[in-house]
Structure 1
Amino acid sequence: MLVAINGADESRVEAGNAVKGPSFTCPGCKAPVTLAKGRIRRPYFGHRPGAACSYAALETWEHQQAKEDFAAAYRARGLECDVEIEVLSIDGDRRADVLLHAPDDAYHVVLEVQNSPLDYTALEVRTTAYLSAGVPVIWVPILIRKRLDNVQRITGTNIYHVSHFSAPPWQFWIHDLQGGLWYYDPVVRGVWRGLLDDCMLYRNPTSWFADGDEHSAGGHWYSSERWSSLFLEGPFDLSRLRVKRVKRPGRKRRTYRLPGGIGADFLLVDDPRDYTMPVRIGSTKANGPGDFHYYRVERRIDDQWVGASLEASVLPDIALTEG
């Protein structure tokens, strides 16, 4: 974990700013913790052997790095933020990964960095709790590159396409709530704008004889239940991120609910507030009789949808931010 209580004055201290010497305790279980600060790993506080505390259990280094990077980028602009801070909510005290303060402390926004699975109920309860406390939340998944196969770049753009992406259900929930995804990439230490679309598969036609009759099946396109198409635009340096508040209506889906209220989302410097990624899986009707369609990646150019030219590629791996 990145934050502990300084035994000298009972103040909260982040590991990056702490010095060895004073005693530190866990904000959750109040047990003693040790400051680990070396040349290789980033500073953190760890429980002593034998301790049983769920305050920072199973937190990955990617998760810790994301919290540090978002906080550092925000503070570099002269703005205030807190890391691993308790936020009052309707179900008690909710610990936020990062709490952003608007200029003049006009309002707060929570960033929840997510990597481990969450069910729909937990997502709805946590989001509703923040909204009820008057604190909108932005959910930020961590991009795991090893899960991306057959990456292609749309020629002439910084948009990449993964045709067969196995998106976990909780990412669909966030995508539906926020109208897209903002992935934190621990490799470049920046963010990608993400968009999920249908993965269209073609079922080849087959025919057979049974009971003296000829039967046929297939010969059509269908939307895969296992795969999605993922578009990634970026990467973008965290210094370009701004936060906007948005009003969202409550919505009900077949398997989950999306809470309504004053939410929040990221906005890139120089981007219009209504910007949407100009890509989709488009359908083009074939010339000739019948209703057969071809499905392909399309991009919008001059308000016209055209077939996108794809080239084999890999995501860039040069860190946008030093440190």
Structure 2
Amino acid sequence: MRFSIYLNAQTRGPHEDVGIIETLTRQALEATRAGVQGIVLTEHHFSGYNTYGDNFMYAAHLAAQAPPGTRFSLAVAVPPLHNPMRLAQRCNLLDILTGGELIVGFAAGGSPIEYAGMGRDPSQRHAQMIHNLEILEAALAKEPGDPPLEWETAFEHGTLHTRIMPSAFHRPAPAFARATQSDSGAEWTGRKGWYLFTAREKPQPLAARWRLYEQALREGGHDEATIQERLDWSMVQKQVYLAGTDEQAEKEIRERLVLMAEHQRRSFGMVKDLRDAAHLKSVVGVSPQNPDEFLDHAMLIGNPGSVAEQIREYEAAGVRHMALLFNYGFMPPEISDRSLRLFLDQVLPAFS
């Protein structure tokens, strides 16, 4: 089992932003120096759900400080919110800055407040994502001597005459992933030979999805070494909370889920005129609006022994890489530090 630390701390206002980013940086470096193998960064804007916003820039900053060989995963970049030429360029540059230790995951996102802020319409986000990814791949594959690449999205158009600069570290493009909650998405991802990112699901359904993904990798004609490497670094994301006892962990984390649900309702309520604005269920499955379901599907909580047992269930389902979120729900640094420290000291050694 491989582990990455997933960075996605929420903020309640500008008075918290600097301290949160400083805490996340410290925790990411502490975790990777203790043996956690990767850092995962996500993309959210304007809503307070993610404090740093720009996961490419933040990953570049962390790559200069993390131990050599640290694997960076973006979970995710949202193609409809980007100019595809700039997105291609940023993917390649970050691949170089991480020494080729990069997986760029893509998903359609869906937060109406984020789409509104970027001047985008979320109603066609899935179709736009696939279309923009086709442009991205064509741009990355283009060589200077090829005919000009004419491209057009729902919001922009242009012509690429030369190539995307810089090139990637040691391949035509960085490694790519798709984040999806569906079996059809897992099959699409496997046929492409991309990594699979998913979240907020229990071991049994994940075991079935992993089998579909592996079958699609094989049907896509990928060699055995590629298949095993994709399975090694495909990812399940979980929010984690450790305390001295199971009872203490559940009591304290339920208080955090109340705060998260309140913040989500306020955020969605700002854009009631947009499609999907009234849908409080997360685009990645369960929502803190239903705390029992969220605890059951999205979280690993308890004392260190209980959390290790829960991880073993995912390992038995075929999962080889988990991205764990320790800082969320407006936790003071001492609370998230305590949970992270229990994991590093008492859980991580059992999987080394």
TM-score in same-fold range (> 0.5): no
Per the normalisation by structure 2, the TM-score is 0.25
Compare the two structures and name the one with the higher helix fraction: 2
Q: Select the structure with the greater relative contact order (CA < 8 A; seq sep ≥ 6).
A: 2
**For the pair shown, which has the larger CA radius of gyration, 1 or 2?**
1
